[in-house]
């Protein structure tokens, strides 16, 4: 830090900042018109590994950019019409009010809003809002394996991949960790079918027909052999399984609760003001 301060002091001297209106309790680095840039306003731009020459260049570049922006701002202030300045002031005040309100709402939510969404709530929402959860794409539960063509004992791997026995699947996992380029059961969760179809060497043109007719799929190219074991599927335009939309439902419930909390907070503050006679409409 001492090295950085030394570099900044050198830049201060070369900049020749000598205006009496600067804050005497802060280290001035540069001046643009009547506005000063102080050392504590400069972000940490350099590390101990940065050379002094590079450090000086980095800081000088920052100061120059600050000055260019400051001079442009000052020129804009001088030349903008009073109407535009008034409009800017209104926008600044509205933005400030929005930020203050947002932070207050956030603070009240953290302190007082119940953020727990129970399984029963989610299941109830799912059962009463079926029309919101029809699938836009085909989804599957599946096992995907991608093996180099030279993998030994492919016949055994194929047999194990088609099995539903837990012991067989454990053996399959052990073998695939040794040889497979990819082995994934997606934590036994629903996934969009096209997440797997893009992995395959050929295009599946009719997904619905494929899913209705296929429980085990095998393909290959010059480098790999591909296995897909389809445990379950749901077709587009049918009702999505609860577990597939569970996280979406949780977000919906939480967001609805947030909106209700904010509305109640606003109404409570407004009604308190009415009780205290703090709100008056003047008839002009």
Statement to judge: residues 124 and 244 lie in one domain: yes
Task: Find the range with the poorest average confidence among 10-14, 94-98, 147-151.
Answer: 10-14
Q: What is the CA radius of gyration of the chain?
A: 33
The mean per-residue pLDDT over the stretch 136-150 comes to: 96
Statement to judge: residues 12 and 34 lie in one domain: yes
Q: In whole angstroms, what is the distance from residue 174 CA to residue 171 CA?
A: 5
CATH number at residue 224: 3.10.50
| Token reading at 211 | 């899913």
Q: What is the pLDDT of residues 193-210, one digit of tens each?
A: 999 999 999 999 899 999
Q: In whole angstroms, what is the distance from residue 46 CA to residue 62 CA?
A: 11
214 domain residue, yes or no: yes
70 domain residue, yes or no: yes
Q: How confident is the model at residue 43 (pLDDT cuts 50, 70, 90)?
A: confident
Q: How confident is the model at residue 3 (pLDDT cuts 50, 70, 90)?
A: low
Provide the domain count of the chain.
3
pLDDT(2) > 60: no
Statement to judge: residues 139 and 192 lie in one domain: yes
Q: Is 156:100 a contact under the CB 8 Å cutoff?
A: no
Count Cβ atoms below 10 Å from residue 252 Cβ, excluding itself.
16
Q: Is 149:225 a contact under the CB 8 Å cutoff?
A: yes
Biggest CA-to-CA distance, the chain: 92
> Which domain range does residue 214 map to?
135-234
Q: What is the pLDDT of residues 52-110, one digit of tens each?
A: 667 778 888 889 999 999 999 999 999 999 999 999 999 999 999 999 999 999 999 99
pLDDT(118) > 70: yes
Buried b (16+ CB within 10 A) or exposed e, 151-176: beebeebbebbeeeeeeebebbeebb
Statement to judge: residues 175 and 246 lie in one domain: no
Mean pLDDT score across all residues of the chain = 89
| Token reading at 36 | 């000063």
Q: What is the pLDDT of residues 219-261, one digit of tens each?
A: 999 999 999 999 999 999 999 999 999 999 999 999 999 999 9
105 domain residue, yes or no: no
The predicted structure's pLDDT at residue 41: 85
Statement to judge: residues 186 and 267 lie in one domain: no
The predicted structure's pLDDT at residue 17: 44
pLDDT(120) > 90: yes
Q: How confident is the model at residue 161 (pLDDT cuts 50, 70, 90)?
A: very high
Q: In whole angstroms, what is the distance from residue 136 CA to residue 125 CA?
A: 19
The predicted structure's pLDDT at residue 24: 85
- Which of the pair, 41 or 128, is modelled with greater confidence? 128
Q: Percentage of the chain surpassing pLDDT 90?
A: 73
103 domain residue, yes or no: no
Task: Find the range with the poorest average confidence among 49-58, 109-118, 129-138, 192-201.
Answer: 49-58
pTM score above 0.75: no
246 domain residue, yes or no: yes
pLDDT(19) > 70: no
Q: How confident is the model at residue 116 (pLDDT cuts 50, 70, 90)?
A: very high
Statement to judge: residues 251 and 125 lie in one domain: yes
pLDDT(1) > 60: no
The mean per-residue pLDDT over the stretch 115-126 comes to: 95
pLDDT(10) > 60: no
Statement to judge: residues 123 and 247 lie in one domain: yes
90 domain residue, yes or no: no
Statement to judge: residues 191 and 58 lie in one domain: no
Taking the mean position of all CA atoms in its chain, how far away is CA 115? Answer: 20
Statement to judge: residues 192 and 252 lie in one domain: no
Statement to judge: residues 213 and 143 lie in one domain: yes
The mean per-residue pLDDT over the stretch 177-206 comes to: 93
Statement to judge: residues 125 and 257 lie in one domain: yes
The predicted structure's pLDDT at residue 20: 45
Q: In whole angstroms, what is the distance from residue 15 CA to residue 11 CA?
A: 6
Statement to judge: residues 197 and 244 lie in one domain: no
The predicted structure's pLDDT at residue 45: 65
281 domain residue, yes or no: no
255 domain residue, yes or no: yes
């Amino acid at each position: 830090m001492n090295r950085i301060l030394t570099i900044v002091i050198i830049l201060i001297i070369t900049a020749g900042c000598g205006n009496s209106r600067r804050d005497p309790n802060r280290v001035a680095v540069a001046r643009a018109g009547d506005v000063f840039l102080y050392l504590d306003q400069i972000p940490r731009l350099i590390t101990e590994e940065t050379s002094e020459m590079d450090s000086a260049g980095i800081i000088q570049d920052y100061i120059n950019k600050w000055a260019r922006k400051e001079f442009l701002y000052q020129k804009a202030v001088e030349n903008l019409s009073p109407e535009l300045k008034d409009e800017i002031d209104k926008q600044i005040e509205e933005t400030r009010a929005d930020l203050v309100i947002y932070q207050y709402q956030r603070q009240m939510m953290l302190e007082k809003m119940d953020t727990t969404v129970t399984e029963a709530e989610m299941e109830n929402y799912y059962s009463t809002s079926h029309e919101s959860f029809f699938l836009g794409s085909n989804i599957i539960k599946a096992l995907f394996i991608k093996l180099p063509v030279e993998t030994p004992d492919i016949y055994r791997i194929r047999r194990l991949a088609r099995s539903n026995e837990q012991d067989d699947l454990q053996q399959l996992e052990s073998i695939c960790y040794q040889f497979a380029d990819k082995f994934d059961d997606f934590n036994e969760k629903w996934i969009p079918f096209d997440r797997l179809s893009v992995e395959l060497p050929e295009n599946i043109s009719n997904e619905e027909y494929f899913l209705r007719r296929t429980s085990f799929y095998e393909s290959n190219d010059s480098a790999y052999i591909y296995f897909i074991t389809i445990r379950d599927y749901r077709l587009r335009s049918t009702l999505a399984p609860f577990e597939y939309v569970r996280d979406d439902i949780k977000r919906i419930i939480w967001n609805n609760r947030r909106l209700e909390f904010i509305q109640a907070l606003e109404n409570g503050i407004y009604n308190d003001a009415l009780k205290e006679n703090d709100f008056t409409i003047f008839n002009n």
